[in-house]
Structure 1
Amino acid sequence: MTRVARKQTSAPPSRVWEVLADGWNYATWVVGASRIRKVDAAWPAEGSRIHHSVGLWPALLDDRTAVLAATPDRRLVLRARAWLFGQAEIELRIEPAPGGGSTVTMSEHVVTGLPSLLPDFVQEQAVWPRNQECLSRLALLAERATPDGPAA
C-alpha cells in the first residue's frame, strides 16, 4: 500500500500553485530547508532550480532543487539533492476538491544514494510525517491570501 501525504485546503488550485510558483516561499513550506540563496528567474519551468540551504545554523549545507515537470495549477515534480543522502524525486499534485478548495498530495522517493536501496514502503513510511507537515505549511500559506481564509 502506498502511503502518500494528503491535505485538504480551502484554497483553490490556482492559489496553491501561486505559492509553489514563488520559489522564495520554498523554505517556508519545505521542512528542513533553512534559507533560499537564489531562485532561477524561470522557476517553476522545467529545468529551473532553487538554490537553498538545509540544516540549522551554523551547520548549514548548500543544496539545490530542480524542476523535472510542471503543469500549472495541477502538478509539480522536483528533484532535490540531499547532499550525502543522494537525490529524491518529489511529486506534488493539486486537485480541485468537491465544493471548492483543493486536495494536495505529496509523494517522495529517494532515487540515488544509499537510501534508494530501501524498499518503497520503508521510504514512504519514513518521509510521510515530514511530507504531511510540508503540506500543512503549504496549505496555510495558500489559505492566508484567500478572502475566506482562516482567522488569525
Structure 2
Amino acid sequence: MSTVSRVFNSPAEDVWKVIADGWLYSGWVVGASRIRAVDGHWPELGARLHHSVGAWPLLIDDSSRVTAVEPGRSLELVARGWPIGEAKVAITLEDMGAQCRVTIAEDAIKGPGKLIPKLVRDPVIDVRNTETLKRLELMAAGGAGR
C-alpha cells in the first residue's frame, strides 16, 4: 500500500471531528467533487458516503463504505469510483497531545486501477494523499467539524 504521514499542529480530537463529519469529505479528499448523501450513522461500521468524483461535466457518482473504525483513532474504507475501480483506504491518528500524526495508506483492490503496476501506482497515490493530508490539516486547524 502507498503510505504517507504528516504531523499536524492540531490535537487528534480536532482532526477526528473533520473525519467524522461525512459532509466535509469532499473538502479534504483530493478527487472527491461533492457529497450527495451521508448515512446517518457515519462513520460507524458499514456506513456509506455517497460522493461524486471528477470534474463537471465528467462526474462519476459512487460511494465509500466504512469497513473498520476505532473512533478517534482510525478509519478504514473501501472507496469506489467505477469504472476506475475500488481502493482500500486506512486513515490512522496518533495522538501526540497538542499535535497528532496522521497516516493514510491506500491501494487499488478492484478494477482497472489494480492493473496499473505498483511501481507507477504508488507514487501517484502518494502525491494525491500528501495533498489530502495538507487539506485535512488546514480544515482541522480552522475548526471544521466542531
Q: TM-score, normalised by structure 1?
A: 0.88
Q: 2: CA distance between counterparts of 1:49 and 1:3?
A: 23
The CA RMSD over aligned residues, in Å, is 1.7
Q: 1: CA distance between counterparts of 2:34 and 2:72?
A: 25
Equivalent in 126, 143, 146 of residue 145 of structure 1: 143
**C-alpha deviation, 1:121, in angstroms:** 4.5
Q: 2: CA distance between counterparts of 1:58 and 1:118?
A: 25
CA contact (8 A) 1:3 1:121 kept: no
What is the aligned length?
A: 144
Bigger-Rg structure (1/2): 1
- 1:58-97 Cα offsets, whole Å, 9 max, x none, are 2211111110111111110010112112100001010023
Q: Secondary structure at the match of 1:52?
A: strand
1:121 and 1:94, CA in 2 relative to 1: closer, same or farther beyond 3 A? farther
1:28 aligned partner: 27
CA contact (8 A) 1:78 1:89 kept: yes
More strand per residue: 2
Give runs of aligned pairs for residues 1-152 of structure 1, distance below 5 A.
3-97=2-96, 100-145=98-143
Identity of aligned pairs, percent? 43
Q: TM-score, normalised by structure 2?
A: 0.91
> Letter of the aligned partner of 2:62 in structure 1?
D
Q: Secondary structure at the match of 2:83?
A: helix
CA contact (8 A) 2:2 2:107 kept: no
Q: Secondary structure at the match of 1:131?
A: helix
